[in-house]
Amino acid sequence: MIRLTGAAIAAAALSLTLAGGVAAQDKATELRYTTGAPEQTPWVNPQLRRFEKDVEEESGGKLKISSFIAAQLGNEQDTVQQVARGRIDMGGFSNGAVALIAPELALLGLPFFFKNVAEQDCTVDKMTKTVSDLLAKKGIKFLGWTEVGTADVVGKKPYLVPGDVKGLKAASAANKVSATMWTTLGANPTPIGITEIASAFQTGLADVNATVVTFYLPSGLAKVAPVLSRVELADAPGILLINKAVYDKLPAAEKMALDKAIARRSADQLRKEIRGFEENLRQMHVKAGGTIATPTPEQREQWRKVLQPAWPKMVQDVGGEAQAFYKEMEAARAACDKKA
């Protein structure tokens, strides 16, 4: 029988401790990423899958993005709040969902506020610091802009003029701008999560919805609401976020790796990828038997004339720092127009 001295036992214990320490150091830091987007959408493939690889490469494998897509962790209205609380590390969200945390952000989706996407993109980029500061107060770090797409009106029949939606049940986003928009149009809004909209049409809870074709077709919503009316209410941004405390606790090298991975792809690139996919999806929708109804310029002008006067009420309904945020939006838009 071999007897170990106290010194030998201590040395063995130290060796095991060091080995465990090395193993712990070698283990990658895992960040849980949530999105409501299905696999077939460009937000996931290529964008999220590419981001996973970018993070792995920039960190030398020390940082890993563990993705949960298609609302596996819950609707984005719920998961964005879980990111704020630190229960989920990070994610990609529509501007409307992030407005549940910072209500002022809903104003970026004011219907007919921007005359075109170039003006919108310029204005949104100029609002980056303001948005970052607002989110930081809520425990969230802004990582970057992405794109949601152009919101049109969908249902089981064409909606070419505002009067066509009067009295209907509208599946609304869970923010004041969306609710006020539907009320202004004479519809009856009910906040419904994006993964539940299709079933809301099937059960009669919803007659009409404003959504983007990049979600409309891949999600299956087009099967139960087969008519897309090209009203072009707004083109809304998306936002990449991480819980601020989670980010702050990362080692400096891992923070730098995450920042570099984000910087690899500009907001303009992400926007172009989404927008380039939109027309393809519209064509696919028609080939599959769906309908696209296009209002005349005069009919679309009717929508603008009804909704533009509601902007002040939308700003008021949002509350918080909405008045100041709206003034900054107006100033940024004016600066972009001068630049153009």
pLDDT score, position 12: 46
Backbone angles phi, psi at 193, to 5 degrees: -65, 150
For 228-258, how does the pLDDT look when each residue is reduced to its tens digit (9 = 90+)? 999 999 998 999 999 999 999 999 999 999 9
What is the rounded distance in angstroms from the CA atom of residue 178 to the CA atom of residue 206?
Answer: 15
Sign, Cα dihedral of 152, 158, 160, 163: negative
Percent of the chain, pLDDT > 90? 81
Q: Between these two residues, 12 and 176, which has the higher pLDDT value? A: 176
- What pTM was estimated for this model as a whole? 0.87
Tell me: the pLDDT tens digits for 79-124? 999 999 999 999 999 998 899 999 999 999 999 999 999 999 999 9
| Mean pLDDT score of the chain | 91
Model confidence at 24: pLDDT above 50 = no
Would you say residue 10 has pLDDT above 80? no
Q: How far apart are CA 158 and CA 228, in angstroms?
A: 7
Which tens digits make up the pLDDT trace of 136-182? 999 999 999 999 999 999 999 999 999 999 999 999 988 889 999 99
Look at residue 288 and tell me whether its pLDDT is greater than 90: yes
> Residue 22: pLDDT above 70?
no
For residues 229 and 154, the answer to whether their CB atoms sit within 8 Å is yes
For position 18, what pLDDT does the model report? 44
Residue 317 scores a pLDDT above 50: yes
Q: Give the 3-state secondary structure of residue 267.
A: helix
Instruction: Give yes or no for residue 284 having a pLDDT over 50.
Output: yes
Ordered structural domains, the chain, with CATH: 29-339 (3.40.190.170)
Query: What distance in Å separates the CA atoms of residue 223 and residue 231, rounded to the nearest whole number?
Result: 20
| 305 in Cβ contact with 184 (< 8 Å) | no
Of 161, 159, 121, nearest to 274 by C-alpha is 121
Distances (CA, A) of 174 to 182, 212, 241: 12, 16, 19
pLDDT band at 289 (very low <50, low <70, confident <90, very high): very high
pLDDT average, residue stretch 35-59 = 93
